[in-house]
Amino acid sequence: METSKSNALYNAAKKLIPGGVNSPVRACGSVGGKPVFIERGDKSHIYDVDGNTYIDYVLSYGPLILGHRPPQVIKALERVLAIGTSFGAPTALETELAQLVVDMVPSVDMIRMVNSGTEATMSAIRLARGYTGRDIIIKFDGCYHGHADTLLVTAGSGVATLGIPGSPGIPAAVVSNTLSLPYNDIEGFERLMAQKGDQVAGVIVEAVAGNMGMVQPKEGFLESLRKMTTKHGSVLIFDEVMTGFRVAQGSAQGYFKITPDLSCFGKIIGGGLPVGAYGGKRVIMDQIAPVGSVYQAGTLSGNPLAMAAGIATLTVLKDDAVYAELDQKTHRLIKGLQGAADDAKIPMKTGHIGSMAGFFFTERDVYNFEDAKTSDLNRFALFYQGMLKRGIYLAPSQFEACFVSLAHTNEDIDTTIEAARAVMADL
């Protein structure tokens, strides 16, 4: 595979940008390769600077549920470009996107736009603390909620890949009120709440975890979170930055029929532009400045380009049929991958909810981060490299999810399964 132009760009980038990348997982360190530099994307495909073509299952780590350059989004962006890129004053677009979210996710009465998922979770935590007057936050090992100091404790995503249990630069005092428990540990959670529940400001969770690979909640886990937080007056926060409008129209909370107090969004609500948002019950959201005293602000928050891309994307997703189609395609992919692994006698656990999917090279059922870490990472690295060479672009880490878009065709999926069969035969 020709990579000379990518390699030259990577060497130039490394001189100016730490590791040559603006987000660590892109460096491909854990799979022993170098990043390919992308020239353009179209529908389900991306094209690198050396002329290689890939079927893309990263989709910018989730936002591009319609695929690359969907005409609805491009047209909406062009309309905004004709009027200006940012005003620092309200536009109607912000209310339009807020209304779409409120209509599609019933737990959200009000919403505040920010610029990234990290800002959304960080702000939701501050709000939960301000609202309850308490300090303790409970999270779950392997869940990644962005890189805010308080939440970077036993986190997933790049932190899992790089093997950093938190990060230097975070004072112990800052995380002293963050407690982390194994994902799906209902008993441990109920015990902790029985001891400390009255001091717990909030419990934050990825309702389907996507940053330790994809891990689904066990039956009763989310129900237990809802029951115990209600009992102790703590705020239940669903981090739907990845799952929001991805696993179902009503997001993970709609899929599992659990109503959180606050939800965090990102990725899909920005339609490929930088956006985050947090929203929920009116009585809690009314605590945010300027109505309340919990401070949170942003120069570019509610940016018109980002709002327009989000509106165009959610408007497509208002049609239920879209989710049936995404589910069918993802099922075909995952069934095909599992079949390829079974035929090659390679232990593999696969799963998907809607168009969010994952696989682990392990014999163990994966319910938490410890289980996820039993995956054979050398085998993953070889699989990743083999798939890349055959034109299939996966995230360069075992601890990331895969995504399917509306632009993926059954032919794309079948090509991917054929590639997986060929790669697995050599593993």
Q: Binding residues for ligand PLP, per CB under 6 A?
A: 61, 116-118, 121, 144-146, 157, 206, 210-211, 239, 241-242, 266, 276
Whichever of 229 and 397 has its CB closer to ligand PLP, that residue is: 397
CB of 253 to ligand PLP, least distance (A): 14
**For ligand PLP, the closer CB: 166 or 347:** 166
Provide Rg for the chain, Cα atoms: 21
Rounded CA-CA distance 237/202 in Å is 7
For residues 370 and 231, what is the distance between their CA atoms, to the nearest angstrom? 29
- Smaller CB distance to ligand PLP: residue 35 or 146? 146
Please, are residues 145 and 139 in contact by the beta-carbon 8 Å criterion?
yes
The rounded distance, in Å, linking the Cα atoms of 75 and 250 is: 26
Q: How far is the CB of 120 from ligand PLP (least distance, A)?
A: 7
Q: From the CB of residue 23, how many other CB atoms can be counted at a distance below 10 Å?
A: 11
Burial 258-286 (b: 16+ CB within 10 A, else e): bbbbbbbbbbbbbbbbbbbbbbbbeebbe
* DSSP-assigned states of every residue in 68-133: BS-HHHHHHHHHHHTT-S--SS--HHHHHHHHHHHHH-TT-SEEEEESSHHHHHHHHHHHHHHHHT
For ligand PLP, the closer of residues 210 and 213 by Cβ is: 210
Can you tell me the distance from the alpha carbon of 410 to that of 240, in angstroms, rounded to the nearest whole number?
Answer: 28
Paired residues of 202 in beta bridges: 137, 235
- Is 239 one of the annotated active-site residues of the chain? yes
Residue 28 dihedral angles phi and psi, to the nearest 5°: 70, 15
Q: Which is nearer to ligand PLP, 104 or 143 (CB)?
A: 143
Compute the least distance from the CB of residue 135 to ligand PLP, in Å: 21
Q: What is the C-alpha to C-alpha distance for residues 92 and 104, in angstroms, rounded to an integer?
A: 19
CA angle 297, 302, 303 (to 5 degrees): 115
From the candidates 144, 323, 367, 393, which is the catalytic residue? 144
Distance from C-alpha of 227 to C-alpha of 151, rounded to nearest angstrom:
23
Q: What is the rounded end-to-end Cα distance, in angstroms, of the chain?
A: 19
> Smallest gap, in angstroms, from Cβ of residue 115 to ligand PLP?
8
**In the complex, residue closest to ligand PLP by CB:** 117
> Residue 314 or 382: which CB sits closer to ligand PLP?
314
Q: Cβ of residue 143: shortest distance to ligand PLP, in angstroms?
A: 7
The active-site residue out of 34, 139, 267, 329 is 267
Q: Which of 239, 261, 371, 412 is catalytic?
A: 239
Least distance CB 42 / ligand PLP (angstroms): 24
Q: Are 24 and 17 in contact (CB under 8 A)?
A: no
CB of 268 to ligand PLP, least distance (A): 11
Q: Which is nearer to ligand PLP, 277 or 423 (CB)?
A: 277
- Of 133, 140, 126, nearest to 174 by C-alpha is 126
Per the annotation, the verdict on 267 as an active-site residue is yes
Catalytic residues: 144, 239, 267
